[in-house]
Structure formats: C-alpha cells, structure tokens
Structure 1
Amino acid sequence: MYLEVFAVGILAGMSPGPDFFVVMKNSLGFGYRVGIATALGIALALIVHITYTILGFTLILQQYPSLFIVIQIAGALYLLWLGWNAIRSAPKKGELNTDVDVEQKEKSSLQGFREGFLCNVLNPKAALFFLSIFSQFITADTAGWVQWIYGSEVIAAVGLWFVLLAIIISYPKFRSFYKKYSYWFDRLLGGILIYFAVRIMISAMKA
C-alpha cells in the first residue's frame, strides 16, 4: 500500500500542471538553485494541503462551497499574474545588456520558493487531489499515524520529482538553448499558466 501511494504521488507530480510549468520556467531562466527553491516551496505547500485534509478541513469546504470558490478565484488570479509577467517577456537586444541589467533580472531563491509555495497552496485542485487519494487508501479504521505516513509519502514523492526536474532542466545545454529562445519560451509558458487560470475561473463560475 505504501508503494502504491508513493507511485500515485510521483504520477501526480509528473502530470503537466501549474506547478510543473513554474518549476520549469524558474529552472530554465534562473538556474537550479531557484528551481530547487521553487520545488521546495511546492513541497511546503503540500504539507498545508495534507494537514487540513487529514484534520477534516475538506469537509468544511464541501459544506461551505463559497469558501472553495474564493480559494479558486485567488489561485486563478495568482496564476494570471505569473502568466502575464511571463508573456510580457521582451526579446533581448543584442549585446546591450550590462552587468547591472543582468543583476536586476536575477531572481533570488526566496522569490522562487515563494512562487512555488503560492502556486501550489492557492491551487484549489490540490484539495480535491488529496481527497481522492485518501478516499482510495484510507478507511474509517485507518490509524491516524498511517494517514500521516501516506501524506508524507506524497509530499516526498512530489518534492523529489520537482527537485529532479529542476536539476535536469538547469543543465547547461538546456539553459543555453533556452537563452536563445527565452522570449518565446516565456510567452509559451506564460500562456499555459493563463490557460490553467482561465480553466479555474470557469470552474468557479460554474459552481
């Protein structure tokens, strides 16, 4: 059972979603340190989701749908903000960039961590994801400590996957290719984030 839960966590992390594209964008644009920090931010946000799921907060969301809609809208607005900043990426103008320009465009690990955390913690689908996992592997007889082990497995699986993704994508050859076409990469990834934001908005409106 433990291996099954871990496998589900890995598969969830590998499926394309806002977290995946935020880690990809930060790793390509700013290197493995910022990419790994983004992955760790996502992992910390997963602890939040796991905690309120186990403590029964998901039941509160079910009883008060308006609260869930507020979370959906907040998450969509954050993704829109990330996507909008990405599609505003301007093409580099030859060799005009100075060292000061480069420093201004750098992103700190703390910024990457914050982006990863907010991207995941404001994702309303995370609550549904954990609810679906727990409904498959947990019964009324399942001990509390077993539930926390299951949750920890998912956190470890997703966190390790995104850390590995950040390291691989930060490989110099990937980054050199990205730098040549960063303008289009940023716009593409920004468009994907906006797409997810619009989907969440539509879901909230239907609710």
Structure 2
Amino acid sequence: MLPLFAGVVMVAYVVPGPDWMVVLRASARARRFGFLAAAGVQCGLCVHMAAAALGVSTALLHSPLAFTALKLFGAAYLVFLGSQALWQSWRRRRVEPPPGEPGTELRPGRVFRQAFLSNVLNPKAALFFVSVLPQFLDPAGPAAVQVLVLGSLDIGLGVAWWALFVLLTSRLSGLMRRSGPRQALDRVTGTALVGLGVTLVATG
C-alpha cells in the first residue's frame, strides 16, 4: 500500500496548483526564496496533518459553515496574492535589483508567510488528509498513528519534490534581473492564482 500511496502523493505534487504558483514565483527571484516558499508550503501541510490526526479536519469539513468560511478565506487569499503579482507587473516604474541579487524586493519572512498561509487556507489540502489518506489506513490499527506516518511520508516526498522543483526553476532567476521576463512571470502566476481562487469559490 505504501508504494501506491506514494504514487498518489507524487501525482498530487506534480499537478500544478496554488503551491506551484507561489513557489515558482519565489524561486524565479532567487533560489533561497524558492526554498523558503517550499518550506512554508510543507509547514502548512504539517498543520493539516496534525489537524487530521486530532480529528479537527474531519469536524471542520463536516461543518458546512466552517468549510465554507475556510474556502472563502483561502480563495480570497489566493486572489490577493494573484492581484498583488499583477499589480507589480503593471507598475510603470520598477526598481531594478543590483546585479547578482535578483528579487531583493522580497523579504524572507514574507515569502515564507505567504506560502504557509496559501497552503493552510487551502481546503483541498485538508480534504486530502480526510478523504484520500484514510483509504490507505488499516482499520485494525490506530488511526492517528497511521495518519502521522503516512502524513510524514507525504511531507518527506514533498521536500524531495520541491527541492528538485526549486533547483530547476531557480535557473530563471538570471532572467528576472530584467523587468520584461519578470513582468511576464508575474502576470502568468498572478492570473493563475486569481483563477485558482475563483475556481475554489465555484467548486462545491
């Protein structure tokens, strides 16, 4: 069952989503920002894993009011991040970073915080831990322990995936020294984040 679960997890990571857009935008600025964003995403998953192990996620997703509130907050935050990226791409006057320091307008704490919140406020991440993961649990064993074990495997695979993702996408950081490619990436990721936020609201 573990190989099958690992395969499902990797498919979930490879399919583009909000985490992709947040990490990609940070990684394209500088490798260190990409790793910070990836760390924020995985720390967000740790919150979902702990909530699932304690039964909080199940209670949350079975409460229509609480689930709707989480969905709206998550969608609003994605739209906010996307709108912020679009605004930056449309600014007429941009301050170019000094050579060798692409993306100095970003702050490490802000990069981590944005990635962490985008994951924590994503109800689909919580849904994975209460709908997909339980299918791989042994009914004869303690559920909380199994959730922690499988959740840890999920997070470990994610660490490996994001490390590879950041190493590959950070090669774009050289292009980000020029405003043209930076504006293009901001527009692509910004539009994608806004679209994901709208889709999240529209999804039942």
Q: TM-score range by the shorter chain?
A: 0.7 to 0.9
Identity rate, percent: 30
Counterparts of 1:200 and 1:98, CA distance in 2? 35
Aligned to 2:199: 199
Decide which of 173, 176, 185 is 2:174's aligned counterpart: 176
Unpaired runs of at least 5, structure 2? none
Match of 1:115, SS state, is: helix
Q: 1:3/1:105 Cα in 2 relative to 1: closer, same or farther (>3 Å)?
A: same
Q: 1:98/1:33 Cα in 2 relative to 1: closer, same or farther (>3 Å)?
A: closer
Shift of residue 14 of structure 1? 1.0
Match of 2:140, SS state, is: coil
- Structure 1 residues 1-207: aligned runs within 5 Å: 1-28=1-28, 30-88=29-87, 89-90=89-90, 97=96, 106-143=105-142, 144-171=144-171, 174-178=172-176, 179=178, 180-203=180-203
Contact (CA 8 Å) 2:73, 2:121: kept in 1 or not? yes
Structure 1 runs of 4+ off > 4 angstroms?
Answer: 91-94, 96-99, 102-105
Instruction: Provide TM-score, normalisation by structure 2.
Output: 0.87
Q: 1:50/1:161 Cα in 2 relative to 1: closer, same or farther (>3 Å)?
A: same
Opposite residue 81 of structure 1, the aligned amino acid is F
Deviating more after overlay: 178-187 vs 103-112: 103-112
Deviation per residue, 1:19-72 (Å, 9 max, x gap): 0011001111x2010110000011111011111112212331243210010000
Shift of residue 157 of structure 1? 1.1
Shift of residue 198 of structure 1? 0.4
Counterparts of 1:12 and 1:107, CA distance in 2? 28
Counterparts of 1:32 and 1:109, CA distance in 2? 11
Unpaired runs of at least 5, structure 1? none
Counterparts of 2:62 and 2:54, CA distance in 1? 15
Shift of residue 98 of structure 1? 7.3
Opposite residue 5 of structure 1, the aligned amino acid is F
Superposed CA RMSD in Å reads 2.4
Deviating more after overlay: 103-112 vs 133-142: 103-112
Counterparts of 1:104 and 1:3, CA distance in 2? 39
Counterparts of 1:50 and 1:37, CA distance in 2? 20
Contact (CA 8 Å) 1:86, 1:187: kept in 2 or not? yes
Deviation per residue, 1:130-182 (Å, 9 max, x gap): 223223201421334333111100011123212221121112xx233454422
| Aligned length in residues | 198
Counterparts of 1:19 and 1:38, CA distance in 2? 9
Instruction: Provide TM-score, normalisation by structure 1.
Output: 0.85
Counterparts of 1:123 and 1:74, CA distance in 2? 9
Counterparts of 1:154 and 1:104, CA distance in 2? 30
Counterparts of 1:160 and 1:23, CA distance in 2? 14
Counterparts of 2:8 and 2:68, CA distance in 1? 26
